[in-house]
A and B are shown apart, each in its own frame.
Chain A
Amino acid sequence: RKEVEQDPGPFNVPEGATVAFNCTYSNSASQSFFWYRQDCRKEPKLLMSVYSSGNEDGRFTAQLNRASQYISLLIRDSKLSDSATYLCVVNLPGSQGNLIFGKGTKLSVKP
């Protein structure tokens, strides 16, 4: 099983749609979880950390399910500018805080 697994997509959605991505991770001892977004030919940028209780930042909601070892990201009222690749990131237990990146899920929001 891959350490961090994501559906590569692409997810093609119209403006205003709600879209959700899931990500599974293999190491049950992982403690820290993040979503990053990466635009084409650019660097990854932190979108949000994922907390145990779930957290929301504007149109974005992140959830963590430790029992099933998955993380989700929900985007409401999609904008054209949301088009990007979304990377699921999990810490590597036992390392000195190293992070493991998923391959990413590509989102394309159409007018």
Chain B
Amino acid sequence: ETGVTQTPRHLVMGMTNKKSLKCEQHLGHNAMYWYKQSAKKPLELMFVYSLEERVENNSVPSRFSPECPNSSHLFLHLHTLQPEDSALYLCASSVKSDGRPYEQYFGPGTRLTVT
């Protein structure tokens, strides 16, 4: 399945590095999301973009910086991360219309390790 793709699939970075995660959706959706999934925790919503505008930032530290240049692409820029930021970062997309919650489709995720 190639509806939502993410790169890289695995990333190891030091606390002083700067890296970016990329997500691309080929489903014609107009909303995109970043989630964090840590061990034994439910998915945590980080950011929501609707029609390329950020509509939600769930109190995410500023060391995570999202960017949505168009409705098909979403980035998550990372800098000066902490070891506790190690997790699976998932991108998702959905249709978004009049606030109705449509099902979301996920990319394969980037497994991030911060050393």
| Size of A's binding interface in residues, CB under 8 A | 24
CA distance A6 to B59 in the complex (A): 25
CA distance A91 to B102 in the complex (A): 9
Q: Is B64 an interface residue (CB 8 A)?
A: no
In the complex, the answer to whether A99 meets B42 with C-beta atoms within 8 Å is: no
CB distance from A53 to the nearest CB of B (A): 18
Q: Which of B42, B55, B100, B107 lies in contact with A101, CB distance below 8 A?
A: B42
| Size of B's binding interface in residues, CB under 8 A | 26
In the complex, the answer to whether A103 meets B40 with C-beta atoms within 8 Å is: yes
Interface string of A13-55 (1 = CB under 8 A from B): 0000000000000000001101000000111111001000000
Q: Is B99 an interface residue (CB 8 A)?
A: yes
Known: A95-B56, A102-B42. A44 touches B101 (CB 8 A): no
Q: Which of A31, A45, A91 lies in contact with B106, CB distance below 8 A?
A: A45
**Interface residues, chain A, with chain B CB atoms under 8 Å away:** 4, 31-32, 34, 41-46, 49, 87, 91-92, 95-104
**Interface residues, chain B, with chain A CB atoms under 8 Å away:** 31, 40-43, 45, 48, 50, 55-56, 88, 90, 94, 96, 99-109, 111
